Amino acid sequence: MFQPVIIAGGVGTRLWPLSREKYPKQFLALTDSQHSLFQETVLRLQGLAYSSPLVICNEEHRFITAEQLRQIDHTHAQIILEPEGRNTAPAIALAALKALEKGNDPILLVQAADHVIADKKAFQQAVAQALVLAEHNHLVTFGIVPTHPHTGYGYIKSGQVQSPNGYRVESFVEKPSLELAEHYLNTGQYYWNSGMFMFKASRYLEELKLYQQDIYTACKAAMNEQKPDLDFIRIKQEAFCACPSDSIDYALMEHTQHAVVVPLDANWSDVGEFSALWDVSQRDSNGNAIKGDVKALDTHNTLIHSEDKLVATLGVQDLVIINTKDALLVAHKEHTQKVKQIAQQLQTENRPEVSVHREVYRPWGKYDAFDRGERFLVKRITVKPGARLSKQMHHHRSEHWVVVAGTAKVLIGEKEQYVAENESVYIPIAQVHALENPGKVDLELIEVQSGAYLAEDDIVRFDDQYGRN
């Protein structure tokens, strides 16, 4: 028996425009699965004996995390919110401290939420092997059996045999040159660093306290003042934000005398860029990985993803073509590692496309802002059955709602009414209002906003079931 710890932070800017700050790659169904990478991380544990998962995520992603867990019937998972990202060593410390609260000392299986592991059976066999070593107080890391001399990964050099299925870690190695990576591959002693770990909660904290006392102390202080909030666990912001930012590799694994590596050969990928996504995707006879409405003629070895319109290609090869509702990326596969530079430039220019999609998810459902002008904004809003938006008002805009599917329960001022399909209501500026879906099917409506200022921060909430300000 072990307890999964899933690290669900990060923004995946090298997969822009699919991955964005407020809806990053771990929550996207990037492969041929219907589930997101985060959901697949949970589901690949099925068949093993494990307790309720602990999930560490960013404040911004809390509702996405909770909703995706609900979709796969894992509502029993505990979600710890990081006020700010502080890398993996502090995140795992929060999980270890939480795991020890009930007086038990579980073995933790730490996984990143944004990796692909195609061979579930091989993965579970490696977990079972690591579990034995963790029970004997080792700090286990999983080393990916390399398939080629990759220069984008860190490596783990294995040493003395620790058990039939594990080796002592001799050293952690930074990303190498191609020549050095070829040498690593030829020796058979080196593995790619997967960023997955297994150890007792108490053992991790003991070693962290020994080598990184400041991280341990800050995380301990943060967890001492935790507060439940709906599905989430909030920690003391000031204490955690004072914590040094460091990865578990640098903070602990490079120092401890108890690190062991278990080889993992399970078609693993961190899907760090679009060329890696092409590698793990199903491809047609021409080597094309296609998702969406696409017509590809005389096209070879190309990744094409289209969200909302027909994409046609002719006479091209080795490209990445990503079409979303508000952005289009065309790149050669050899240059996809530079996509992050585009995201950084958009960030510098304060472009909204770097942080949000045109379609935005909320705890009550989603909206798609599909048309806008200087003084108007048009949205298609979907409200889940039984969900409701906050009771709110706006200082700078009026709203006109037209119901296109389902029935809405609407409050405008003191008047409450039901609005059926093909009916509409008008909300003047500064009028308090609320919207609810009392039915058993999705409520869909068109919202037309009019006014001098149409940004999302023009919302004054009076009552919100999701605890938002």
pLDDT at 430: 96
Could you give the 3-state DSSP secondary structure of residue 231? coil
Domain boundary among 289, 323, 345: 345
Instruction: Write out the H or E segment, with its range, that includes residue 257.
Output: none
List, in sequence order, every residue forming a beta bridge with 259; answer none if it has no partner. Answer: 139
pLDDT at 306: 97
Among residues 183, 195, 170, 191, which one has the least CA distance to residue 91? 195
Among residues 316, 324, 322, 275, which one has the least CA distance to residue 296? 316
Residues 242 and 119 grouped into a single domain: yes
Q: Are 135 and 30 in contact (CB under 8 A)?
A: no
CATH code assigned at 425 = 2.60.120.10
Residues 56 and 191 grouped into a single domain: yes
Is the pTM higher than 0.85? The answer reads yes
List, in sequence order, every residue forming a beta bridge with 426; answer none if it has no partner. Answer: 400
CATH code assigned at 39 = 3.90.550.10
Q: Are 151 and 114 in contact (CB under 8 A)?
A: no
Residues 162 and 304 grouped into a single domain: no
pLDDT at 282: 95
Amino acid, single-letter form, for residue 235? I
Residue 370 tokens read as 């599909």
Q: Are 347 and 354 in contact (CB under 8 A)?
A: yes
Range of the domain at 188: 3-269
Residues 171 and 233 grouped into a single domain: yes
pLDDT at 162: 81
Amino acid, single-letter form, for residue 331? A
Task: Let me know if residue 405 belongs to a domain.
Answer: yes
Distance of CA 43 to the CA centre of its chain: 15
Q: Are 280 and 136 in contact (CB under 8 A)?
A: no
Residues 164 and 207 grouped into a single domain: yes
pLDDT at 91: 97
| Positive or negative: CA dihedral 145, 149, 151, 157 | positive
Residues of the chain with pLDDT under 70: none
What is the number of domains present in the chain? 3
Domain boundary among 345, 376, 395: 345
Among residues 381, 399, 401, which one has the least CA distance to residue 442? 381
Task: Let me know if residue 468 belongs to a domain.
Answer: no
CA distance 204 to 227: 24
Could you give the 3-state DSSP secondary structure of residue 114? coil
- What is the secondary structure of 323-352 as a DSSP string? E-SS-EEEEEGGGGGGHHHHHHHHHHTT-G
Residues 68 and 12 grouped into a single domain: yes
Domain boundary among 269, 294, 325: 269
Amino acid, single-letter form, for residue 328? L
Task: Let me know if residue 353 belongs to a domain.
Answer: no
Write the CB contacts of 355 (distance below 8 Å, at least 6 apart in sequence).
20, 21, 22
Task: Let me know if residue 443 belongs to a domain.
Answer: yes
Q: Are 28 and 324 in contact (CB under 8 A)?
A: no
pLDDT at 415: 96
| Positive or negative: CA dihedral 144, 154, 57, 207 | positive
Residues 67 and 87 grouped into a single domain: yes
Task: Let me know if residue 352 belongs to a domain.
Answer: no
Task: Let me know if residue 170 belongs to a domain.
Answer: yes
CA distance 239 to 219: 7
Residues 62 and 116 grouped into a single domain: yes
- pLDDT (tens digit per residue) in 331-390: 999 999 999 999 999 999 999 999 999 988 888 999 999 999 999 999 999 999 999 999
Residue 248: φ, ψ to 5°: -65, -30
Write the CB contacts of 119 (distance below 8 Å, at least 6 apart in sequence).
265, 266, 267
Residue 433: φ, ψ to 5°: -155, 165
Residue 137 tokens read as 């107080």
Residues 441 and 369 grouped into a single domain: yes
Query: Which residue matches tokens 């990865």?
Result: 247
Task: Let me know if residue 124 belongs to a domain.
Answer: yes
pLDDT at 102: 87
Residues 285 and 299 grouped into a single domain: yes
Residue 174: φ, ψ to 5°: -65, 170
Task: Let me know if residue 339 belongs to a domain.
Answer: yes
Q: Are 437 and 386 in contact (CB under 8 A)?
A: yes
Residues 225 and 152 grouped into a single domain: yes
- pLDDT (tens digit per residue) in 202-256: 999 999 999 999 999 999 999 999 999 888 999 999 999 999 999 999 999 999 9
Write the CB contacts of 158 (distance below 8 Å, at least 6 apart in sequence).
143, 167, 168, 169, 170, 189, 190, 191, 261
Q: Is 249 exposed, middle or buried (0-12, 13-18, 19+ CB in 10 A)?
A: buried
Residues 331 and 366 grouped into a single domain: no
pLDDT at 11: 85
